[in-house]
Structure 1
Amino acid sequence: MDALLFDMDGVVVDSEDYWHPAERGELLPTVLAGDVPDLDEITGMPYREIYEYLDAHYETTVSEAEFVDLYDETAAKIYRERVELLAGFGDVREAARGSGVPVGLVSSSPPTWMGYVLDRFGLTFDLVLSNDEVPGPGKPEPDIYEAAADRLGVDPAGCVAVEDSRNGSLAADRAGMVVVGYRVEHNAETDLSACDVVCAGSDELREELLGRLAD
């Protein structure tokens, strides 16, 4: 392994446990008239691209600026007050340091949201990369993962990416990385077929990553 890359939402922090109810119960009914998408359609995408997707495929009732404000307000509450850190993350981070493997945080979330998480838990990474900082489309396209490998100076084929969404796992797979899927309650039905292996719960994920770091 030349680099270990973590998605943020639903992996490093359990934010999808809060985003999904908020989107189903409040956000999507507020911004759309009529049908709302299955959450797997949009989970893992940058939120500005979510608006573009909704505007193209559904009936939006608010402007992009209003949509962004609603998501930003919800994000501040979720990341500052509610989320918890992935169990066992510290063990994996220390094992990576001991093996000389850089660890990156690669997220569709904007830098402000990522900053909430970094500050709240005092986290440091060798690379923190938001899709806002990468030219080109977001997940499920591979651009952000290709950029992460380039900035770390490693071959994408030598990277392991940890993802919990269909869009995220497709992005890492299309970049040519080994993809470890993380399966918990919030994504119990999510299509993770692009992953090389899928781990059920934090204990299994921890053991999978520690084993790969020890190889």
Structure 2
Amino acid sequence: MDVPDGTVLFDMDGVLVDSETYWHRFEDEWVFAAAIESGSPAHEEVTGMPYYEIYDYLDAEYGTAVSRDEFTSKYEERAESLYGEQVALTDGVPELFDGIRADEPALGIVSSARRSWIDIVRERFGLDPLDLVLSAEEIDEPGKPEPHVYEHAASELGFDPAECVVVEDSINGIESAVRAGAFTIAFRSTHNADLDLSRADVVAGSFDELREVLFES
């Protein structure tokens, strides 16, 4: 398996922290129950998308029963306690980050979460130093599943996307990385256990498996 060694880019939600479990609960309790007019969306339809683009998607597909301002405000209110108090760091993250730094490829986080939410996680779990932190809100292009955020990340670090390894967990995030041309590793966990992640080049079920892919392939 020919794994690029230019840079390793991690999605945050569902990869570095177990936040997707909490976001799915929020979607069940409010987004899909009160914020749409009709229908039963699946979590994978919106997981990985920027929250402000989730509104547009749901409005087009199901109709919305709340305003954009109310929708985004609810997400922003939920995020503060979710990232600041509830989420846990995925087992093996510090050790894998240390290994990547020692091996000297660039290391970054590329997320659909707001920069302020990423910063909460970085500070709370001591994830720095990083060569790049990029939120989808910081580029003037559509977010995941479009490829722009990973194309932009690669450019910021001086790499072609084909020189990048991306670790993603969602259908939308994997699609974004694949379309950008990156070597894509799907991270399998409880929240995506039943999803088809075959668009990725490799599927890993733990950070130990990620280490094997990154350092032993």
Both proteins in one fold, TM over 0.5: yes
Residue pair 1:161, 1:178 contacting (<8 A) in 2 also: yes
Task: Determine the structure 2 residue equivalent to 1:3.
Answer: 7
Structure 2 CA distance for aligned equivalents of residues 9 and 210 of structure 1: 23
How far apart are the structure 1 equivalents of 2:11 and 2:105?
17
| Residue aligned with 2:8, SS | strand
Aligned equivalents of 2:208, 2:95: Cα separation in 1: 11
CA shift for structure 1 position 203 = 3.0
Q: SS of 1:32's equivalent?
A: coil
Whether the 8 Å CA contact 1:33–1:59 is kept in 2: the answer is: yes
Distance 2:212 2:23 in 1: 27
Which residue does the alignment assign to 1:126? 131
Question: Match for residue 18 of structure 1?
Answer: 22
Kindly indicate whether residue 208 of structure 2 is the aligned counterpart of residue 193 of structure 1. no
1:50 corresponds in structure 2 to 54
Q: Using the TM superposition, name which of 77-86 and 29-38 deviates more.
A: 29-38
Cα distance in 1 for partners of 2:143, 2:52 equals: 10
CA distance in structure 1 between the aligned counterparts of 2:121 and 2:32, rounded to whole angstroms:
24
**SS state of the match for residue 194, structure 2?**
coil
Instruction: Identify the residue that residue 37 of structure 1 maps to in structure 2.
Output: 41
- Could you tell me which runs of 5 or more consecutive residues in structure 2 were left unpaired when the two chains were aligned: none
Counterpart position of 2:182: 177
Q: Name the counterpart of 1:116.
A: 120
- The 10-residue stretch of structure 1 (33-42 or 200-209) with the greater mean CA deviation from structure 2: 200-209
CA RMSD of aligned residues (A): 1.2
| 1:59 equivalent in alignment to 2:93 | no
Q: Does 1:157 align with 2:169?
A: no
Shift of 1:20: 0.9
Q: 95-104 vs 175-184, which deviates more?
A: 95-104
Instruction: Write the letter of the residue equivalent to 1:33.
Output: E
CA contact (8 A) 1:27 1:70 kept: no
Asked if 1 retains the 8 angstrom alpha-carbon contact of 2:7 and 2:106, the reply is yes
> Does structure 1 retain, via aligned residues, the 8 Å contact 2:115–2:135?
yes
Tell me, in whole angstroms, the C-alpha distance in 2 between the residues paired with 1:64 and 1:164.
Answer: 27
Query: What is the TM-score of this pair, normalised by structure 1?
Result: 0.94
- 1:161-213 per-position Cα deviation (integer Å, ceiling 9, x unaligned): 0000000001001111100010111001223121000012333233323435x
The letter of the residue matching 1:6 is F
Aligned length: 212
User: 2:100 — aligned with what?
Assistant: 96
- CA distance in structure 2 between the partners assigned to 1:61 and 1:119 by the alignment: 36
Normalising by structure 2, what TM-score? 0.94
Structure 2 distance, partners of 1:28, 1:69, is 16
Tell me which moved more, 203-212 or 166-175: 203-212
Instruction: Indicate how the Cα distance of structure 1 residues 84 and 18 shifts in structure 2: closer, same or farther if over 3 A, else same.
Output: same
